[in-house]
Amino acid sequence: MRRYSRISGTGSYLPPRRLTNADLVAKLAKHGVETSDHWIVERTGIRARHFAAPGVFSSDLGLEAARNALTAAGVDAKDIDLIIVATSTPDMVFPSTAAILQHKLGIAGCPAFDVQAVCSGFVYALTVADAMIQTGTASKALVVGTEVFSRILDFKDRTTCVLFGDGAGAVVLEASRVPGILASDLHADGKHADILCVPGHVSGGKASGDPLLKMDGQAVFKLAVGVLEDAARAVLAKAGKTEADIDWLVPHQANIRIMRSTAKKLKLPMSKVVVTVDQHGNTSAASIPMALDSAVRSGHINRGETVLLEGVGGGFTWGAILLKM
């Protein structure tokens, strides 16, 4: 009998410190940068975001999201036999944030590793976990997206610092006799690396290059809308489905304009699109699992419904997953 995987529980976590646009405007003013709530909302749809406190790392946020997902799934941490963490803001150069998270969960022995595909990271990580479950390498996987992007923002650049926030989302993915993950579609094109990047690294005991986020917003927008439509159609074709079969679209929460454009191309009303970007900002690899958990816990997404996840991020990377809850 063929082996499949299915999401059995979701979880998320936001650090307590919430910054509204007004709070951020005041913070930027101290850096001599002018902006406004109207300017931010009009261009991004973002009204607030959360920042982690000093000394709080990606593994700490991921731990809370993981615990919530485990509780929702009714699974004990000791039964997890695979941990994959998607993050672009790891606790340290090495070991992996996944290994650190594993220890904080009080377990040991199972494989634990990070996936770095920036905002597409969770889609990549979930695809890898699905493949490992299908081949019998794992039976109960914990897949986490967690970020502290506030640590790599340039607060003198209003075109980027208003976009991002911190947070974590997680799912428990279990072996199943019936399909949960129906199909996935992943891509990357490194020639676009310079339009969204943090061009720095550690060398000689200090940061070398520029360790702050850089983005060409117009280039990212133009590329994102096209590749997200392509990935969505590809994953639907692989699963033998059409746009009409989609109950919910859970996109990467980057910008409301990108989300609206994608929904329009797929002929989906915005009432079928999960939107959390207004309250969370762009939390990179955490945004999709956080949005999914929000929709599940609010009673919008229910068992048996067909959900399309899709993300696009630096690399340039993009991908989509079609799944049945």
Report residues of the chain scoring pLDDT below 50: none
The active-site residue, picked from 21, 252, 255, 280, is 252
pLDDT at 224: 96
Considering the chain, what is the average pLDDT of its residues? 97
pLDDT value, residue 239: 98
User: Same structural domain for residues 49 and 161?
Assistant: yes
Here the CATH number for the domain that contains residue 43 is 3.40.47.10
The parent domain of residue 309 ranges over 182-324
Residue 119 is among the residues annotated as catalytic for this protein: yes
Same domain, 247 and 130: no
Catalytic residue, from 119, 161, 255, 280: name it: 119
Same domain, 25 and 163: yes
Q: Are residues 30 and 100 in the same domain?
A: yes
193, 172: one domain:
no
165 and 195 fall within a common domain = no
pTM: 0.98
* Residues sharing a CB contact under 8 Å with residue 290, sequence separation 6 or more, in sequence order: 12, 14, 65, 145, 167, 168, 169, 253, 276, 280, 283
What pLDDT does 106 receive? 98
Closest CA to 111 of 71, 149, 83, 147: 83
pLDDT of residue 1: 82
Asked if 168 and 229 sit in the same domain, the reply is: no
Q: What confidence tens digit (pLDDT) does each residue in 241-250 have?
A: 999 999 999 9
Burial of 168 per CB tally in 10 Å (0-12, 13-18, 19+): buried
Residue with tokens 């992996």: 96
Indicate the length of the chain as a whole number.
325
- The last residue of a domain, from among 149, 178, 207: 178
Kindly state whether residues 319 and 245 are assigned to the same domain. yes
pLDDT tens profile 14-61: 999 999 999 999 999 988 999 999 999 999 999 999 999 999 999 999
Nearest to 9 by CA among 177, 176, 248, 171: 171
DSSP E strands in 21-165: the ranges are 48-50, 82-86, 112-115, 140-148
Both 8 and 121 in one domain: the answer is: yes
Q: Are residues 93 and 228 in the same domain?
A: no
Q: Which two tokens stand for residue 135?
A: 């081949």
CA distance 284 to 192: 17
Query: Do residue 112 and residue 130 come from a single domain?
Result: yes
Choose one of 178, 200, 231: the last residue of a domain. Answer: 178
- Report the run of H or E that residue 9 belongs to, with start and end: strand 4-13
CA-CA distances (angstroms) from residue 101 to 65, 107, 138?
Answer: 11, 9, 18
Distance CA 101, CA 113 (A): 10
DSSP states of 148-165 as a string?
A: EGGGG--TT-HHHHTTB-
Residue ending a domain, choose from 128, 158, 178: 178
312 in the same domain as 228:
yes
Q: How many domains is the chain built from?
A: 2
Place of tokens 């410190």: 17
